[in-house]
Amino acid sequence: MVEIDTNYLEQQFIDSCRYNTRSDAQSQTIPSTPGQIDLAKRVVTDLKKLGLKAWYNEKNGYALGYVPGNCDKEISAVGFFAHLDTADYPADNVSPQVHPDYDGRDVILNEEKQIILRVAEFPELKDLAGQRLITTDGTTLLGADDKAGVAALLAAVQSLVTQPEIKHGPLYVAFGPDEEIGQGAKRFDETEFPVEFAYTLDNGQPGDLEYETFNAAAATVEIEGTAVHPGDAYHLMVNASSLAHELVAGLPLAEVPEKSRGRQGFIMVTRQESTPDHAHLELIIRDFDQQLFANKKKLLKDLAQQINDRYDQERVKIEIKEQYSNIGEEIKKNPAIVKLALKAYDTLGLKPNIVPFRGGTDGNFLTEKGIPTPNLFNAGHNFHGKYEYVTVEGMQTVAQTIIEISRTHANTK
């Protein structure tokens, strides 16, 4: 197993967590927040310190680097992606707390506020006894999503540079902005990244492999009512609030997030505002299966039409926008991508856990751009909140997986 400089890995993670890179869906700048620029340029500096070609793309906010191959044959390049931004949760003055040789018990994150990371609530903590645990201080998120991926990727690159006996093909690495708001990879310039395929390092535990994602769409519904005094409403009022309730009531009761798992899809009302005069609804539609996904979109349109058919004007207007597509079909056309990851897992003694990803990753947009990109893992836990944590050993496994994929790819071509 390849030696990883865990001091370098840990310091990269802690340093990156201290950058406030919380993305902002309302921002009009690219990237959406200045902290992402600062961290991206820091990553470029760190790659250059390793003697590598690295650059920052001002147009899309990506930090990129190139690791030349050192094997004796021509081989296609492999890519790896991690994202720099964090979710919509307090991220000012992040103060990572390191717990060496963690004892497997409850961790007091903030004594004054009595914020405690409890084993009873998060039983997977017991499996981490003896490891070097990193937590929040209870007042912010940590940023392991995806700074664990950022740190592990930098540590893997550092190992490849400092241990030339590890034979590998060429690698491209990318550190992107605004993944949490679904904008960063849309702007990625694939011409800067001439790889055959790539992997994202986002969420998940060692052994996880996700090469299917949801198909996703967003729906906006506008309902026009006719508001009159309720005392004179007979055969005159059309209550937009009532029509909104009728439309929502027509949705399948079982096809909601809180009743769905595995490969089951859902329709979720994310926002609803209504008065008798006007109603506004926002919904998201998700499914792995293309036909079921199409059926869900059709259901929404049919419900709107059923209401409109009762009136002499169009009361309900619905707009559906596609967001991203399941990467599974494209990955299946390139089975070697999955086989390569599984072979690396086997070498490292990781038990494969192939699961559909109930969401989307940068890989959705990258795959659409011609770079088939499944997701591996970053070994963090409890993302997007004050109970977030990761271990150095977990991130070390991420780095070793990157290296093993790179080495295996070189040896199988």
- For 168-277, where are the E strands, in sequence order? 171-176, 197-200, 208-209, 215-224, 266-274
CA distance 105 to 108: 10
251 alpha carbon, distance to own chain's centre: 28
Closest by CA to 214, choosing from 285, 295, 296, 301, is 285
The length of the chain, given as a count of residues: 413
The two tokens of residue 339 are 């086989």
Instruction: Render the burial of 351-366: b for 16+ CB within 10 Å, e for the rest.
Output: eeeeebbbebbbbbbb
What residues are labeled active site? 85, 179
Residue 35 CB-density burial (10 A; 0-12 exposed, 13-18 middle, 19+ buried): buried
H or E, element range at 362: helix 362-368
* Cβ neighbour number for residue 16 with a 10 Å cutoff: 26
CA distance 361 to 395: 19
Residue with token string 């890989």: 363
User: Helix, strand or coil for residue 22?
Assistant: strand
User: Helix, strand or coil for residue 270?
Assistant: strand
Left if phi > 0, otherwise alpha if psi is -120 to 50, otherwise beta: which for 51?
left
